[in-house]
Structure 1
Amino acid sequence: MKVLRIAICGDEEYFRLLEKELIEKYMEGQGYECIIDSYSSGEEMLSGGKEGESGKPEALPYDIIILDVSMGEMDGIETARRIRQRNEKVKSEMAMYRSISEHLDKQRKRTHEYKNQIAAISALAAAKQYGKLGAYLEKIDTNLKISGDAIDTNHVIVNAILNTKYREAVDKGVSFVLKINDLSGLHMEEEDIVVICFNLLDNAIEACSQRGPCNHSEGKVVKFKFVLEEGRIVIAIKNSMERKPILKNGKFVTSKMKEANEHGFGIRNVMETVEKYGGQYAVDSGGGWFSFTILIRNPVA
C-alpha cells in the first residue's frame, strides 16, 4: 500500500479532526495509507512541529499540505509562501553542499596522489634516473595546472564554493573576475556563507549563460568581490546584462515562471540572511550591469 504524508494546519481543532477523518476514509478507498500530522498554526508547522525539534530548518516532509486561509497571526497564504521559501532554501543548500562534498573529496584524492608522486620522485632520484625524473616532473606540473584549484582564500567553504562556481562559469563561456583577500578571519556560519555566495553566483552565472550572442561591451562576465576590510565583510557581485531585470513584490523575475520563482526566492533568502547579521545590502541594475552589494560587520573573535 502506498503511503502519503499529509499535514493539516488550521486554528480550529474541530475542523482539523473532521478533515483528518474524511481524508483517511477517502485515501483508504483509493489504496493509500496516510500519516497525518495536525498543526494549530502556521508558526507551529514551520517551527518543526509539536515535538519542538531544533536545529537547521529542513524541507517539510509532506506530500500534501492543507492550510486554513483565514488563520490568525499567520494566514494560510503567508504560511504557504514561507513553506515554499524554506524548501527552495534547503534545495539550494543541498545542491551546494553536494558540490562542496565533491570538491573536498577531490582534494583528498589529490593529497593521496601527491604522496604517491613524492615516493616516485624519491625513487627516481635515488636511482639517479634524472632523465626520467625530469619527464615525470613535467608531467606532474601539467596535471597540477589542469586539476589544481585556481582560488585560495584560506577558508575551506569559500574555497569550495568559488572554485566550483569558477569552473561552472568557464564551462558555460562566462568570464569570471574575482577580488578576494585572506578570509581566515571570517566570522559567519557556514550555512549562511553557502546561502549568500551560492545564490548570488548561481543567479549571475545563469543570467549570463542563458543569453545568446552577447552585445554587452565586456561580453558575458561575472565580477565577484569577497573581502574583509576595516572590520567588515564586503561581498559584491556584478553581472553583465542586456535587459533590465523586473522587480515584482520584492523579488526579481525572468521571462520563465520557474526561473522567476527560483531566482526570486534565492535573492530573498540572501536578503534575509544579511538582515540576520544586522547587515546592509544594495541592489542596482543600471549601465548594463546588475549588481548586489553586501556589508556586514565582522566581529573580532
Structure 2
Amino acid sequence: MGMWILSLCIMAIEAWGSIYFFDTFMERKRVGRLGKCRYVVLYFADMVVALLGGHFDLMGIKVMLIILVSITFCTVFYEAGWKQRIFFSGLNYALLFLTDLFFLQIENMSISPNVVLTFLLLPSKMLWLCLVFIVRKIWKGQNNYGELSRKEWLKFSMIPLLTVASMLLMFFCNSAEAKVQTAYLFLSVGLIFINILVIELLQGILEKEELFRESALAGQKKESQLAHYRDMQAVYERQGRKMHDYKNQIRTMQVLLKKGDTQAAAALAERLTESISVEMAAVNTNHPVVDAVLNQKFHAAREQGVSMTFRVGDMGGLRLNEEETVILLSNLLDNAIHECVKAARQGRKAVIHVKLVQEGGKLIFSVRNPVVEKVQVTEGTGLSNVKAVADKYGGDFAVSCDAEKFQAVVML
C-alpha cells in the first residue's frame, strides 16, 4: 500500500515537472477550459502508461509509450511544430531517465539496496526537478524556432535519442561489478551535463540567428531608405519631363484655340487630364506609406514595360510600422518587377497582379507574376526579411513557383 501511494506521488511530481519543462520552451495553446485541466490530463495519461507498461516486458516499448504520450500532450496544449514537440519530449524524458539511472547505480553500489530504494525514489525526482529549474534559469525565452532548418533540428534531436539509447543499454547490460557500476554512474552524470549543454547551445544559436535577423532588417531599412530616395529622385525627374511635355501641350492648345479649332483643343485637353490623373496616383489605400510604395513601384514597372493590376482595400488601420510596411511591400514587388522585365524582353505579356486587403481581421498581401523559367526560391532575394516581418506578427508566408508563374502570399 505504501509503495502505491509513493508511486502516485512520483507520477504527480513527474506530471508537474514535465509541464513546467514544456512551458519553458513552448507557447501554450488557447484551448479554453481544457487548458486548466492539462495537469490532470497528463497525470492520468502517465497512470495509464504505467498500467499498460506492466503488460510489456520490453523496457524500450515502455519508453516509446511515455515519449509518445508527451508528444501527444504537447500537440494538444502547445503551439509548436512537430520537430519541437519530438525534440523537447525526448529531452525531458532523457533528463528524467538519467536521474533515475543515476540513483539506480547508487542503489546497486550500496550495501542494502532494498532499504535504500525507498529513500532514493523521491531524491531522484527532486534532482530531476532541480535540473528543470536550472534549464529554466539558463533559457531566456528564445522560442522563435523558425530560423532553424530541418537538418539542424535533426542534429539536435540525435542527442536525446542517443541518450535514451545509452540509458537503455546501461539498464539492460547492468552488472554487479563495482568498476562497471562506477563507469555507469559517471556516464549518467556526463550525459546529464551533455543534455544541458545542448539546451545552452540551442539558445546560443537562436540568439545569433536573432541578431543576424535584426542586422538584416537594419540593412534592409537602409536599403529601403536609399531606394526611397532613388524613387523620389526618379519621380522628380519624371515630373520635370512631364511638366516640359505639359507646357508644350498647353502651348499647342493655345495655338489651336487661336486658330478656332476648339474640337482638337478639347481632345488634347482630355488626353492631358487623363495623363495627369494617372501620374498623380494610381493607387489610393488611405495609408500614405502604402500609397507611396505602391505608386512608386507602379511607375517604376510601367517605365520598364511592365503592367500592374491592383485589388486593394482600406489600409487606414494597418498595424505595421513604416519600416515593416516598406520591407513587406518593396521586396515582393521588386522581385516581381525583376522577373516581369525578363518576361517582357522575350515578348511575353508582363503583368503583376497585386492584392492588398484586410479580411476577417487579417491582412492579406499577394503578388503574382509571370516568370521565364521556374525560379529557385532562396532567402537571398529579400524573402527572409518578409518572413521575419510575418513571424513577428505570428503570420504566415508562403511562396509557390512553377515554370509559368511565381506567387507569394503573406497573411498577418
Counterparts of 1:1-301 in structure 2, within 5 Å, are 73=204, 85-86=216-217, 88-98=219-229, 141=273, 144-145=276-277, 147-211=279-343, 213-214=345-346, 219-247=349-377, 251=378, 261=380, 263=381, 266-286=382-402, 288-296=404-412
3-state SS, counterpart of residue 186 of structure 1 = coil
CA distance in 1, matches of 2:230, 2:303: 15
Change (3 A) 1:97 1:211: same
CA distance in 1, matches of 2:285, 2:388: 25
CA distance in 1, matches of 2:213, 2:393: 20
CA distance in 1, matches of 2:304, 2:319: 32
3-state SS, counterpart of residue 290 of structure 2 = helix
Decide whether the 8 Å contact of 1:100 with 1:160 is kept in 2.
Answer: no
- Specify which structure has the bigger relative contact order, considering alpha-carbon pairs within 8 angstroms and separated by 6 or more residues: 1
3-state SS, counterpart of residue 185 of structure 1 = coil
Decide whether the 8 Å contact of 1:228 with 1:234 is kept in 2.
Answer: yes
3-state SS, counterpart of residue 270 of structure 1 = helix
- Structure 1 moving runs of 4+ over 4 Å: 77-84, 99-106, 134-140
3-state SS, counterpart of residue 246 of structure 1 = coil
3-state SS, counterpart of residue 204 of structure 2 = coil
Decide whether the 8 Å contact of 1:214 with 1:220 is kept in 2.
Answer: no
TM-score (norm 1): 0.52
CA distance in 1, matches of 2:269, 2:318: 37
Amino acid in structure 2 at the alignment position of 1:292: A
CA distance in 2, matches of 1:193, 1:167: 19
CA distance in 2, matches of 1:236, 1:155: 18
Amino acid in structure 2 at the alignment position of 1:73: G
CA distance in 1, matches of 2:347, 2:386: 29
Q: Greater helix share, 1 or 2?
A: 2
Match in the other structure for 2:107: none
CA distance in 1, matches of 2:346, 2:232: 34
Per-residue displacement from partner, 1:22-50 (whole Å, max 9, x unpaired)?
xxxxxxxxxxxxxxxxxxxxxxxxxxxxx
Per-residue displacement from partner, 1:111-149 (whole Å, max 9, x unpaired)?
xxxxxxxxxxxxxxxxxxxx9xx9798697356335321
Amino acid in structure 2 at the alignment position of 1:92: E
Amino acid in structure 1 at the alignment position of 2:409: T
Match in the other structure for 2:82: none
Decide whether the 8 Å contact of 1:179 with 1:227 is kept in 2.
Answer: yes
Structure of larger gyration radius:
2
Match in the other structure for 1:61: none
CA distance in 2, matches of 1:269, 1:154: 25
Per-residue displacement from partner, 1:161-213 (whole Å, max 9, x unpaired)?
01100001111111211110111122211111100001110111012113564
Decide whether the 8 Å contact of 2:306 with 2:344 is kept in 1.
Answer: no
Change (3 A) 1:189 1:80: closer
Decide whether the 8 Å contact of 2:343 with 2:371 is kept in 1.
Answer: no
CA distance in 2, matches of 1:193, 1:177: 19
CA distance in 2, matches of 1:104, 1:170: 13
Decide whether the 8 Å contact of 1:104 with 1:160 is kept in 2.
Answer: no
Match in the other structure for 1:4: none
Identity %: 27
Change (3 A) 1:103 1:191: farther
Decide whether the 8 Å contact of 1:241 with 1:289 is kept in 2.
Answer: yes
Decide whether the 8 Å contact of 1:175 with 1:221 is kept in 2.
Answer: yes
Decide whether the 8 Å contact of 1:100 with 1:161 is kept in 2.
Answer: no
**Cα offset for 1:81?**
5.9
Q: Greater strand share, 1 or 2?
A: 1
Change (3 A) 1:103 1:188: farther
TM-score (norm 2): 0.39
CA distance in 2, matches of 1:101, 1:140: 23
CA distance in 1, matches of 2:394, 2:329: 18
3-state SS, counterpart of residue 283 of structure 1 = strand
